[in-house]
Amino acid sequence: MAVALGLDWVVIDAEHGHLDWKDIAEHIRATVRSPTVALVRLSHRDTSLTKRALDIGADGIVIPWCETPQQVEEAVKDCRYPPEGRRGIGGERATGWGQCFDQHAREANDNVLVIPLIESVGAIGAMTEMCNVDGIETFFFGPADFSSSAGYRGQWEGPGVAEQILQLKETIRKNGKHCGLMVTGNEDLLNRQTQGFQMLGVGSDTGLLLRSLHESLRVVGKDRSMAPSFDPADGQEIGPVLSTPPEGVHPDRRESVTTPGHSEPVELRQGVCFSPRTGEFNDARHLTTGIVTFEPEATLACHTHPCSEAITVLEGEFESVVEGRVYRLGPLDTMVIPRWCPHLGRNSSANSTARVHLAMATHRIEAEPVTRTFDEKIMPVDSSGIAGFESVCRFHQAKRTVGTGPGEESVDYFNADLMAGVELSGGFIRLQPGGQWSVYLLDFDASIYVVQGGATCMIEGRKYEIGNGDAIMIPRGRIHRIINESDSPIEILWVYASPRPDRIMMDSQCATQDGNPWKGTTYE
C-alpha cells in the first residue's frame, strides 16, 4: 500500500515485533521497480545481520542506539565491500542471484543508505563527531528511548527532551547532514516539516490503523481507551458524542484564568504560603485549588477540614503526616486525606523550597487546629495509605491509561471508585504535540492546572493560552477542549467538583464560535 501510494521510504522492522527473514524478504520484494526506498531496522549493529539484509535487497539499514562515532564507523564498514569495508558478496537478490556480481559490486558502496538511530542522551556529546563520519547522510531520532535514557521512561518526549532533540537537529543540519523522526499525527507532521526535519515517518502500521479506528469509533460514539490486557472490559468507554447539550445542564457563569500572582496569596503560617487558582474569589462552586509553597523546613501545623483534601507534589521533598503516619512523597505523587482526619504537611529539606498542588471539595477553606499529638511512624516508600483513611497514589507505580498518540497517558489519582467517601475526582494527563482532549461538557465545576508546557483551551470559541503554573476554572455547563499546539509535551492536573469524572462528550463543533450551542441564548 505504501509503495502504491508513492511513499518515499519504508522501514521494515527487524528490531521489534514478530517479522522473520521470510517476511522481510516479502516486504522488500514489494518495493522492487519502485522509487520507494526499503530500509531494514536491525536489532543491533552486527556484520552478519547487515550482510543478510543487504543481500536480500534492502536499500539500506537503520542501526539502533548509536552513541559514538566508532559505532557509526563500524556500521558503515558492515555495509561496504572491501577494501573500504567487510561486506561479503553473496549470490542473492542484490547481485541478481550471482548474475550481476560486477555491476553490483561497482555501485553498491555508493548506494547503500546507513541511518544511525539517535535514541540516548549518551549521543549528545558525540553528535558533531558522528556527523563527520564518511558514509553517513541522515540521522533518525527515537524520542521515546531518548526520554527513557533521560529518566522519563514511558514518555514520548519527557521534560526537556523535545528541546534537546531540536538542538541536536540544528547541530546535524549545520554539519551538512539530514535528520528525521516519527510524527504523532497530521498536525505534528506539518510542524516537524516547519522545524526542518527532512525524513518524516507518518506513522507505524499499527499506529496508523489505531488512528483510523479511533476516528471511526468516535464518530458513532463508541470510542474507548485500550487496556494492556486487550480485554475490552478493562478499557474505558469514552461514551456517545452529543450535538446538543442535555436538558438541564446550562451554564450560569463564565470561565476564569488565574496566573501566578493574579490572586492575593495567603500566608497560612510563617514559611507556608497559599496561592489560589480556583475558589470563592473566581466564583467556583464546591471547589478550591491552589499552590502551597513551603520554605525550607517549614511546617503547616496539624489540623482538620470538614471536607476531603488532595495534595499533589510539584517540587521538593514533601512529607505529609496523617495521625502520625509519615508519608514521603515525590514529584506528582498524590495523597487524599478524608474529612476531619488530623494531618500536617512539612518541607523536610533544609535548603530547597517545596510546592504542592492543593484541591479541596469546598469553595471556602475551613480548618480546625488539632492540639493532640501523635507518635510518628515512617511509612514504607511504596505505601498506598491505610484503608478507610488516607490514600496515596505513587506516580511511578500508578496505573496508566494510554492515549491515542505515542507517549500520551493519563492517571486517575482519586475518585469515589478509588476511595470511598471522597467528594472530588482528579488526575494527571500528558499530551504530546498535536494531542488533545475530546470536547467535553461537565455537570460540575472543574479546574485545569498546567504543570509543564503550554496548553490551548477552547471554550465555545473563546481561546485561552495557559502555561506553567496557570489554571483555568471551567464552570458547570461550559463546553471545552484542551489542545497541545506547542512543540513539546504538556502535563496537566485536573480536578472536578464531583466524586466521579462523568464527562459528557460533545461534537467538536460545539467548542467553536459558530457551533456554540449557547450562541444567541441567555446562557451565552
Cell of 418: 478509588
CA distance linking residue 87 with residue 207, whole number of Å? 35
DSSP-derived secondary structure letter, 226 = B
Sign of CA dihedral 277, 279, 284, 285: positive
pLDDT by residue for the chain (524 residues), tens only, comes to: 999 999 999 999 999 999 999 999 999 999 999 999 999 999 999 999 999 999 999 999 999 999 999 999 999 999 999 999 999 999 999 999 999 989 999 999 999 999 999 999 999 999 999 999 999 999 999 999 998 898 877 778 877 888 999 999 999 999 999 999 999 888 889 989 999 999 999 999 999 999 899 888 877 767 777 777 777 766 666 667 788 999 889 999 999 999 998 877 899 999 999 999 999 999 999 999 999 999 999 999 999 999 999 999 999 999 999 999 999 999 999 999 999 999 999 999 999 999 999 999 998 889 999 999 999 999 999 999 998 899 999 998 888 886 655 567 899 999 998 998 899 999 999 998 888 888 999 999 999 999 999 999 999 999 999 999 999 999 999 999 999 988 889 999 999 999 999 999 888 889 999 899 999 888 88
- Could you list the beta-strand ranges (E) of 348-476: 354-360, 368-369, 377-378, 391-393, 401-402, 409-414, 425-431, 440-441, 446-452, 455-459, 462-466, 471-474
Structure pTM?
Answer: 0.63
CA distance linking residue 92 with residue 439, whole number of Å? 55
Measured CA to CA in angstroms, residue 361 lies from 279, 337, 357, 416, 498 at distances of: 10, 11, 14, 13, 8
Residues 208, 210, 212, 215: what is their CA dihedral angle, to the nearest 10 degrees? -140
Cβ atoms of 391 and 384 within 8 Å: the answer is: yes
Task: State how beta strands 334-337 and 309-315 pair.
Answer: antiparallel
Measured CA to CA in angstroms, residue 344 lies from 52, 254, 317, 319 at distances of: 65, 35, 14, 8
Domains present along the chain, CATH in parentheses: 9-203 (3.20.20.60), 256-511 (2.60.120.10)
Cell of 399: 496505573
Alpha carbons within 13 A on the beta-carbon side of 288: 21
